[in-house]
Amino acid sequence: EGFGRFRQTRRPEDMVVQPVFFAFNAESFGFSGSDRFFLDVEQFVCEIRQNISSPLAEDAEDDDGRIDFFPGCDQPYFPSLRFKEFAGAQWDGFVDLSQISYQQGSLSLFLHQANNVTSTIRDALIEEFGGSMVVSNQPELPPSLLQSVAQRQPVIPSMLISDYDAEFNNPYYHSLFDDTENFYNLGANGTLCLIADSITRALIRTAFPEVPPEGTSTFKATCSFIDMFVGCLSDSQFNCSVASEIFGEVAEAINYNERVVPEQYTGPFATVGRARSRAGLAVKWDLLTGFMALHNAFEVTEIECESARDCTNVTLEHNGELTNESHEAFTPSRCVGNVCVLSDVFLHDAYGTGLELNTENDTAAF
């Protein structure tokens, strides 16, 4: 939210480094979500790409008026290949935010590094946090997704920020019982807000190197928004204002606040399809992806919608005449707050769909 707010004050060409925000699932199962994602980036090979050379063709529309195409892979089936853009990408650094809020008193953080490679984001983080963060001297990395990055992408300057050096402080970490009771010092001078301030300024300095440090020194995260959004993701009900902003009229129609209880546990092992049968998890995913899409949007249109299907033409017009060689450049649109929003937000089904597409005789059956 903070970085997106600052980006809106600058020209697009001023940003020379593109921040990418990840939210991994199934991390309580040996960090399998992040590990499998980076494994797919490293090893996944599409044998037969889907033929979408002319998605704007009239014959692409079915009887329901829906454009039925996906810029993905037929064999093995994968609905989107956008994740392959990370293969061979020039990373400035990868930062994992681990357990950071189980502390009282003054802010005290540790920076763990998978390698000693310097990077712009590392230097910016150290400078912004100052004396409240020290570089850990532990000989081994603590359990975290940093191990996945270090194993799959060892050339990436990767680091972990945590409120512990060698051992967890929070006895409920990565468990079903780790909820908002374990967030200390919320509010304007709370742990999460102070951390958000420093990380946002470090991201701005990395992405916009022409902005002098004094240009970001007074930039502050919106603490009330942080407290509200964390509570919305972690509490037993979606009773926050951002839920209404993201879901729009749909939130009132299906009465999320009373009928849907979100799952607090962040580590369920569930594919996208399976999650749709679990209302709490599905709605939490919709909330998170909608939030990321809205605050990192290329364009917020005035086209009204009730679901992503209503934004199909927006997607097609933005992507133009896609070819089979440009699948990785595909940008989708999402229905956020009852309007179509163009944004690079994707769900990556890291363990596959378990389905195989049958393309014989020009069919699209599974």
The dihedrals phi and psi of 301, each to the nearest 5 degrees, come to: -80, 175
pLDDT attached to residue 161? 92
For the cut 50, the answer to whether the pLDDT of residue 266 exceeds it is no
Residue 225: closest CA among 239, 238, 242? 242
In this predicted model, what pLDDT tens digit does every residue of 50-70 receive, in sequence order? 765 444 333 344 433 334 445
Strands (E), 176-304: 299-304
User: Are 353 and 271 a contacting pair, CB within 8 Å?
Assistant: yes
pLDDT attached to residue 224? 82
* Average pLDDT rounded to a whole number, residues 353-365: 55
* Average pLDDT rounded to a whole number, residues 143-163: 87
Sign of CA dihedral 94, 100, 105, 111: negative
For the cut 80, the answer to whether the pLDDT of residue 153 exceeds it is yes
Over the chain, what is the mean pLDDT?
A: 75
d(CA 304, CA 294): 15
Q: Would you place residue 186 in the very low, low, confident or very high pLDDT band (cuts 50, 70, 90)?
A: low
In this predicted model, what pLDDT tens digit does every residue of 24-33 receive, in sequence order? 877 777 788 8
User: Are 44 and 79 a contacting pair, CB within 8 Å?
Assistant: no
pLDDT attached to residue 121? 92
* Average pLDDT rounded to a whole number, residues 240-249: 75
Which of left, alpha, beta for 37 (phi over 0: left; psi -120 to 50: alpha)? alpha
Q: Which pair of tokens denotes residue 324?
A: 């089979």
The dihedrals phi and psi of 113, each to the nearest 5 degrees, come to: -120, 135
In this predicted model, what pLDDT tens digit does every residue of 6-25 receive, in sequence order? 888 888 888 999 899 988 87
In this predicted model, what pLDDT tens digit does every residue of 271-321 receive, in sequence order? 445 555 556 666 777 788 888 888 888 888 999 988 878 888 888 787 776
Q: Would you place residue 75 in the very low, low, confident or very high pLDDT band (cuts 50, 70, 90)?
A: confident
Q: Cβ contacts of residue 143 below 8 Å, gap of 6+?
A: 31
d(CA 73, CA 49): 4
For the cut 70, the answer to whether the pLDDT of residue 45 exceeds it is yes
For the cut 70, the answer to whether the pLDDT of residue 4 exceeds it is yes
Q: What is the pTM of this model?
A: 0.80
For the cut 90, the answer to whether the pLDDT of residue 95 exceeds it is yes
Query: Looking up tokens 């979408």, which residue turns up?
Result: 52
* Average pLDDT rounded to a whole number, residues 205-211: 89
